[in-house]
Amino acid sequence: MNTTFAVGVRGVEGGMVVALTGDIDGSASAALSEAYQRGVEENNPERVLLDFTATDYINSSGIAAIVSVLAQARAQHRPVLASGLSDHYREIFEITRLSDFIELHGDVDEAVTQIRQASR
């Protein structure tokens, strides 16, 4: 059933992690964009990780919200990574070609390690 969207941001060496929880649909768009902007102001990250570990539903409006954040990050020359996608949503990222612009990792630790190594 529906789970309310929540987003948390934390800085890591070389980047920031945007942890997404709950359903990513149209109602998540404003909160995701706001969290991204706040996180950028506070952390000035080189790279941005979107962590989907606690998400099990993304609809087309959610895809649009992710595209919006990706567009902002690319305009700021901040590479975007993603972690924690299920096989189903990994396939959707491939079909929509989001995976051409977002580096996919299996879990958040693997992605954070990548961000740290890339910053050194």
Partner 1 sequence: MSDSSARELAAFTLASEPGNERQALALVADALSQSGLSPTQLEKLKTAVAEATMNAIEHGNHDQADVLVEVTVVEQDGVVVVAITDRGGAIGDLEPPAEPNLEDKLAGLQTPRGWGLFLIRHMVDAVDEVRDGDRHTVRLTVHPSTPPAITRSH
Which residues make up the interface to partner 1 (CB under 8 A)? 1-2, 23, 25-26, 57, 59-61, 63-65, 67-68, 70-71, 74, 87-88, 92, 95-98, 100-101
Q: How far is CA 67 from CA 64, 101, 117, in A?
A: 5, 10, 26
Query: What amino acid is encoded at 12 in this protein?
Result: V
The helix-helix angle for 60-75 and 29-43 (nearest 10°) equals 20
Q: Which is nearer to partner 1, 53 or 68 (CB)?
A: 68
List for the chain the helix, strand, coil content (%; round to 5).
50, 25, 25
Q: Which is nearer to partner 1, 30 or 64 (CB)?
A: 64
Q: Which is nearer to partner 1, 59 or 117 (CB)?
A: 59
Q: Which is nearer to partner 1, 37 or 59 (CB)?
A: 59
Contacts of residue 46, Cβ cutoff 8 Å, sequence gap at least 6: 14, 15, 78, 79, 115, 118, 119
Q: Nearest distance from residue 10's CB to partner 1, in Å?
A: 25
Q: Nearest distance from residue 114's CB to partner 1, in Å?
A: 22
Q: Nearest distance from residue 68's CB to partner 1, in Å?
A: 5
* Cα radius of gyration rounded to whole Å, the chain: 13
Q: Nearest distance from residue 53's CB to partner 1, in Å?
A: 17
